[in-house]
Amino acid sequence: MFTFIAVAVDSSEHTEDFVKSGLSFKQIFQNYYIGFIPYIWGLLFPLFVFIAVIYFTSRMAARSEIVAILAGGCSYNRFLRPYLLGGILLASLLLIANREFIPKGNEIRGNFQVKYLDGFDKFGSDASDTYYRRSDSNSYIGIRFYDSVNKKANGFFLHRTKENKVIYNLRSESMKWDTAKRNWLLTNALERKLTERGEEVSLKNEMNIDLNIKPSDLRKDKYLKDKLTVDQLESFIELEELRGSEGLNTLKIEHYRRTAAAVSVILLTLIGAVIASKKTRGGSGLHIALGFIIATLFIMTDRFSSTFSVKGNLPPLLAAWMPNIIFSIVGFRLYKKAAK
């Protein structure tokens, strides 16, 4: 039901863009919604499980089935065991999906959004773009302008340091990716070396150079963190840290969140079982309303912690796991107060 609602809302928002694209319904479904639906599943899966647990457990409580189970000599922990096992199974499915399968769907969704929905090509060139990053442990490069379509850059420079001193400097009017040699071809390059004998300057019309950077690393893709599998995301974060890139908290939060989201399935399953196992006069409606309130607070906590990490100094690991930590305490208190 949630999936149908999400698809309906999304299609109504992008109807005009779909019409402008000139694609048929089949093409839109294959190139966009095939990736969008798994994205929604992964995003709302803990909520799906939570509401489902509350719904059928409250139905059991309303029929006095849970009272009969406990009165028959079954302990409360034994009553919760199937919920724990079911939560672990569903959490394992979400963990595998978050690590491998949902990123593949996000790649389909992201490519379509860039081409048809965002209004302009995020991979295209931008005259205001300036890149400055570390190439290796002692080399730094800068680019004033990069055209990702032609894989060409202007205003390139590189300098290497040793013991906090610049020992090598290279500047070039332009550089282009050499597909044959799989490295960069520099044009009108000025090379300066500092040696014990002094400074050596040389001018070269063309020269090839190997950098620890590929054309794909220079393009800007706001959907990149969603497209990468966990292994790819770990490698990318490690490489960007080596280059001295800033603003990596968003990537780190996404990395930790994929595991935290799976654990939240187990946590919300147990909280839902504890809440809904108590028979109330309000019946299932009261339990479901309480479930929606808890789910809303859980999502808000997740969003706030992520924002504080990206914009502030909150560690990414703590930001990703903070909702689970807070609601583990809430769940434990509910468990202690539950009628056993």
Provide the 8-state DSSP code for 160: E
For residue 74, what pLDDT is reported? 92
Predicted local distance difference test score (pLDDT) of residue 127: 41
CA–CA gap between residue 61 and residue 338 (Å, rounded):
13
CA distance 60 to 77: 17
pTM, two decimal places: 0.77
What pLDDT does 94 receive? 96
pLDDT at 129 (0 to 100): 61
- Which of helix, strand or coil describes residue 79? helix
Q: Report the alpha-carbon distance of residue 248 to residue 251 in Å, rounded.
A: 5
Per-residue pLDDT tens for 73-121? Answer: 999 999 999 999 999 999 999 999 999 899 999 999 988 988 888 754 4
3-state helix, strand and coil shares in percent for the chain, rounded to the nearest 5: 60, 20, 20
Q: CA 47: distance to chain centroid?
A: 18
Q: What is the pLDDT of residue 126?
A: 41
Q: Which residues of the chain have pLDDT under 70?
A: 119-129, 149, 219-220, 243, 282-283
Do 237 and 252 meet the contact criterion of CB atoms below 8 Å apart? yes
- For residue 119, the model assigns a pLDDT of 59
